[in-house]
Amino acid sequence: MNSRRTTVRDVRRTNRSALLSRLFLDGPVSRLELSRLTGLSAGTVSNVTGELIDEGVVVEAGLVESDGGRPRVLLRVDPAYGYVIGVDVGPTRVRTELFDLSMRALATVDRPVGAGDPDPGTVAALVAAGVREAVAGADVAAERVLGVGIGVFGTVERGRLALVHAPTVGWDAVPLEALIRAGTDLPLFIDNGAKTLGQAEMWFGAGRGARHAVFALVGSGVGAAIVTDGTTYQGTSSSAGEWGHTAIVYGGRPCRCGGRGCLEAYVGAQSLLDRYGAELPGDEEARLAALIDAADRSAAADRLLDETAGYLGVGIANLVNLFNPERIVLGGWAGLALGTRLLPRIREVAAAQALAHPFSEAAIELSRLGPDAVAMGAATLPIAELVARGGSRPPVQASSR
């Protein structure tokens, strides 16, 4: 039901894109295998890969032995063809990483934002500075940077310029993209941090190979990334996936979003610690770890965790019934800490609450990459764009500069 025109040239773009995608995700592959993987004829594969090699996107990478017969030449994306930057913008810190195209981190810059509610201008300046430092630190020419992906806390409203909403820290339609653009000329890709983390798991972690998956992320707050048909679902204005603010207890605990009975008010780390009552030392992560540790001795802590497993299980059952995914991945720093101990119980509860049939299709797993993959996931955004374009063919008319 689409209505974009299609011309013969789109065929090439689509096929370049399909080949690049295989090359990028399935590591070194021979032309013959590419032909099998994409269904394209050997002639076309030869033709297109030749073009990609000429352009420098793809390089040959050794031979595969054969027992009698011409050996296959392996191809792969040249890791040094370009570089991408991923930024994890949290409420308390900005972390910038520069990767080559094999996703090796070549530079990392980590900066605290300072106490209190983060100031948009400060955050934007930290991002721009982080990008400059990462480029300098990795000793890479700025022209070779394909783009900067940014994963932000809060929901991102994608219009001509992205706006960020994060009521809990007083951000209402903050023009973050405009602010950052003032400090850098590189192409910017902004999305919610939960979604970029989901993207990372999808490409390199627990989501590999899945068509439909939901990444349930529990940190101080609770979010989710919903992948349908291989792509992250955005909704009308990119704010889809606010799983943490779905009500699970009608008329229940007030949530910091203003609603009542939201999942986040029951399983978010902040809420958990609030409900525990007893004072614990250290930052949020240390306190949650202490709480989990205490469960072996303290009945109160144990009961609290058991309740949490119940809420999480029901929340996950809701996802199963609504999305019928083949995989549900529990992540986020608190999600991992809780899941490591509670996963069996969570599965149990979900099994009891979800409909039998969709539940039988859904594998419930823990995140593989850990919560630090937000930046890496963000860095995949410019790569995805490159692949979708079919690798940047030089513009038709080579201008003189």
Partner DNA sequence: TCCGATAATTCAGCACTTGAATTAGTGGCG
Partner DNA sequence: CGCCACTAATTCAAGTGCTGAATTATCGGA
- Which spans of this chain sit near DNA (rule: CB under 7 A)? 5-9, 11-12, 15, 30-32, 39-50, 63, 65-73
Instruction: Give the residue with the Cβ less far from its own copies, 81 or 359.
Output: 359
Considering only residues 321 to 340 of the shown chain, the ones binding its own copies according to CB under 8 A are: 321-326
- Residue 46's binding partner, choosing from its own copies, DNA, none, with beta-carbon cut-off 5 to 8 A by kind? DNA
- Residue 47's binding partner, choosing from DNA, its own copies, none, with beta-carbon cut-off 5 to 8 A by kind? DNA
Give the binding range for its own copies (CB under 8 A) out of 47-55, 133-141, 224-232, 365-373: 224-232
Q: Does residue 306 interact with its own copies by CB under 8 A? A: no
- DSSP annotation of 260 reads B
Rounded CA separation 227/380 (Å): 15
Considering only residues 22 to 41 of the shown chain, the ones binding its own copies according to CB under 8 A are: 22, 25, 37-40
Instruction: Give the residue with the Cβ less far from DNA, 66 or 236.
Output: 66
Among 56, 167, 170, 209, binds its own copies (CB under 8 A): 167
Task: Provide the minimum distance between the beta carbon of 46 and DNA in the complex, in angstroms, as a whole number.
Answer: 3
CB 93 within 8 A of CB 108: no
Element (H, E) at 327: strand 327-331
Q: Which residues contact 248 (CB under 8 A, 6 or more apart)?
A: 261, 262, 263, 266, 311, 314, 315, 318
Element (H, E) at 284: helix 284-294
CB 381 within 8 A of CB 99: no
Q: Does residue 4 interact with its own copies by CB under 8 A? A: yes
Give φ, ψ of 194 to 5 degrees.
-60, -40
Q: Does residue 237 interact with its own copies by CB under 8 A? A: yes
Task: Provide the minimum distance between the beta carbon of 76 and DNA in the complex, in angstroms, as a whole number.
Answer: 13
Task: Provide the minimum distance between the beta carbon of 60 and DNA in the complex, in angstroms, as a whole number.
Answer: 9
In terms of Cβ atoms closer than 10 Å to its own Cβ (0-12, 13-18, 19+), residue 255 is buried
Considering only residues 255 to 294 of the shown chain, the ones binding its own copies according to CB under 8 A are: 257-261, 266
- Residue 236's binding partner, choosing from its own copies, DNA, none, with beta-carbon cut-off 5 to 8 A by kind? its own copies
Instruction: Give the residue with the Cβ less far from its own copies, 9 or 70.
Output: 9
Instruction: Give the residue with the Cβ less far from DNA, 299 or 396.
Output: 396
DSSP symbols for 50-115? HHHHHHTSEEEEEEE--SSSPPEEEEEE-TTS-EEEEEEE-SSEEEEEEEETT--EEEEEEEE--S
Instruction: Give the residue with the Cβ less far from DNA, 20 or 373.
Output: 20
Rounded CA separation 301/151 (Å): 33
**229 token code pair:** 């048909």
